[in-house]
Structure 1
């Protein structure tokens, strides 16, 4: 019994010594241990960047050049999988017999300063020519090939012209002269495009050459109560109408078109679907 008690006492003592050493070493290891970095999704980074870039924005206010570059860089790194998309999602695969151009919109986020969303277009799908009043718009083609035609209003042709150049015919309502800024195909991956309130192609039309998706960031977003309506247009060649006091050389006429307001065409349908990408945390 005496030997067993001695062994027990020794083991308890040894354990106590071991426990003290273990505690000391454990504390040392905890001090040296690096906490694993929390992974932040690309769409969360985009959201945080938009909050910063558009924090002091407003109608007609363009963010500073360094902010434009920062947001453009973040968008440039966004891939389809970052927003939960693949080129074979069912709602962009349509058959040739479909008569209505069904566009799918995935709403990501919206506040009074900016909005984020994705338009998915089936082959030959069209987002009709429309404007972005007082907005700065960033568009990132995620996949596919898209034809973009974009315009700016003509306000300075020639020197001394009226602010808004309209055709001479009084029978043409709500029609103005615009200059073509972009008329080309774009295939992902490609650089994000930027539209400014008064230049860069503030009015544009998207036509899907193949199934495609485009991520849009608008600052500020559309708002009917605040007068930022989405207006649609029909384009006409320059030769369709005339205007007094303006001469454009024959070889330059193809760069100008008349844009006439219209309602959304009946053969276009925009359907909202649930965004299934990483969720945004708005702290």
Structure 2
């Protein structure tokens, strides 16, 4: 019998990333669960390991104070996660396990992006972007990044964000169907793209000059940041891929990736 490549989690998976510099195939998966009776959200970070004998299994599950939509690795043993209670958690995932919390927003944080310094970008479901210093736990700056055109001044969900390694430029994507490029120091908009036919669910700097995006219009696009009107490349993908494989970067750049299947039975499958 071949080793199992699926595992059942205790809660619904939301996001996944390969653990960097791991000697064996390991990944971290965030979970999110809404209790409609109390309107509370719970979550966790699950550490998964795969080997040729035991297959895919849950190595550890670390509970968080709220649901986790997205996260990134500050180093191979430390995760920074955006939580649905409006805080960031800096979580050690290796022994000794510990965590620090940074309150940021009064609403849900939806995404974050790390730079090479202590500065990160994070966004919420009310239209705001925040620059946060992880060393001081302080909010450096914040601004209204996205709003719906038919409700002027009222923010909409900012589903994704990324920052350049030098923390000078930020890109955001939102429910309003636009991608925006920002000067992080002045909080001014440099340019924007409105080529999308639906909300922008994923943005990421692939380099200082190129931005990778995913949208509910079922297209993955690569842009040159100097020209956001015309993408360099466009690839049509299925809605299933965009809904369930948020981590497009790992899918493209690694030899294996995690495919999250959003079903109530919370199945996670590892593909080589």
| Structure-2-length-normalised TM-score | 0.26
The higher relative CO (CA closer than 8 Å, separation ≥ 6) is in 1
Rg comparison, structure with higher value? 1
| Structure-1-length-normalised TM-score | 0.25
Q: Where is the strand percentage greater, Structure 1 or Structure 2?
A: 2
